[in-house]
Structure 1
């Protein structure tokens, strides 16, 4: 069972969306992840939002002109995403078993983004498998972008994945580290409890 399911019971879609809506109303910038991705690939590029949740990141990327597909296992989150943007493709699948072709989607994404602590919220021991599945969805030269917490201050669950381990999972999947940042605003990473990693296939 994933740590996300243990944490939420996969029934928190509306509560999750409401929390981010409240943050947006307070004036907080809600589009850092989308802006970060838009700096890496040109408008029109194909992007897979892995662990898309209620669609906050992907909907913004679609507004910016990207060809997006979202995938998540949590039906309550996808229900909100489909209500907010019914014209966009939202797929329900386990990232540890994700097979783009089997879902009728071409496995030639220019960028795969896993925001929102997707990697540390997977089921324990499945991180390498999920990373390999996401890497397989990339075209040669495509980018995997993952942002996640590394300590208790940045995670809703106990820390489970170090950057060394994640880099090893990426290397095993044929990916090479390109850059690493401390935030979605591209602040340099010099250590600390949160990292945004960019790997290339």
Structure 2
């Protein structure tokens, strides 16, 4: 994927610009957690449970590849996109097999646009430039196959209010199927400090039959 020279930098890019070693530390943190036997693939297990074997998955904001790597090993065809080339390099090194691409989610335009699932984990939505949030969500909607679902999770108090996010998703053409408060299926409430939202693409949903059908 090519990135426009006139694009708005993401919050993640601002962090890296201020601290060039940030990405490398992030990679090593997850490598260390994996080496210690820490469970770092809870998101991926939920996605896998939602899919038939051999599904197409877009790991949006894939980072160093922990989610997409697991889903590839589970037998799915995975494309991962992240704006940070250091993270993509780590994904390619640690999780060979998926297609890992450097790209801006706000300019998402992949040659294949029929993903059975799009997963956006790790608080990625909160690192986007606020002006690009709806464009990112619209890109997800465009890249879903009929019947496909987008699963997006992030925490509260990170600069993106849950209600605002759900409004943006509706504007972008996504319809809420399910709201959870964790990646292990606990229900979402008004007091939840984390949101996992499962969406479908609104135009692909079944419409009621007419009385004369």
Normalising by the residue count of structure 1, what TM-score does the alignment of the two structures yield?
0.89
Aligned to 1:39: 49
Q: Which residue of 2 aligns with 1:146?
A: 152
Q: 2:140 aligns with which of 114, 134, 144?
A: 134
**In structure 2, C-alpha distance between the alignment counterparts of 1:65 and 1:86, rounded to whole Å:** 13
Pairwise CA distance, 1:23: 2.0
Partner of residue 154, structure 1: none
Matched residue of 2:151: which SS?
A: strand
Measure, in 2, the Cα distance between the counterparts of 1:55 and 1:171.
Answer: 28
Task: Provide the C-alpha distance between the structure 2 equivalents of 1:179 and 1:199, rounded to a whole number of angstroms.
Answer: 7
Is the deviation greater in 161-170 or in 126-135? 161-170
Q: Which residue of 2 aligns with 1:176?
A: 175
Larger Rg: 2
Q: 1-side partners of 2:168 and 2:142: how far apart?
A: 13
Residue matched to 1:166:
165
Paired residue for 2:105? Answer: 95
Shift of 1:124: 2.1
Structure 1: distance between partners of 2:40 and 2:199 = 24
Q: Aligned pair 1:17/2:27, yes or no?
A: yes
Describe the SS at the equivalent of 2:86.
helix
Match of 1:6 in 2: 14
Aligned position for 1:155: none
CA RMSD of aligned residues (A): 1.5
Can you list the C-alpha shifts for 1:173-193, whole angstroms capped at 9, x where unaligned?
A: 221101111111111112322
Residue number in structure 2 paired with 1:122: 128
Paired with 1:119 and 1:54, the residues of 2 have a C-alpha distance of 16
Kindly provide the CA deviation profile for residues 122-148 of structure 1, in whole angstroms up to 9, marking residues without a partner as x.
Answer: 012211111101111101221010010
Q: Which runs of 5+ in 1 are unaligned?
A: 152-158
Rounded to whole Å, the distance in 1 between the matches of 2:40 and 2:142 is: 29
Q: d(CA) in 2 for partners of 1:143 and 1:194?
A: 19
The match for 2:198 is 198
Structure 1 residue 85 displacement after superposition: 2.9
Please list every run of 5 or more consecutive structure 2 residues that lacks an aligned counterpart in the other structure. 1-8, 202-213
Query: Greater CA deviation, 49-58 or 14-23?
Result: 14-23
Shift of 1:11: 5.0
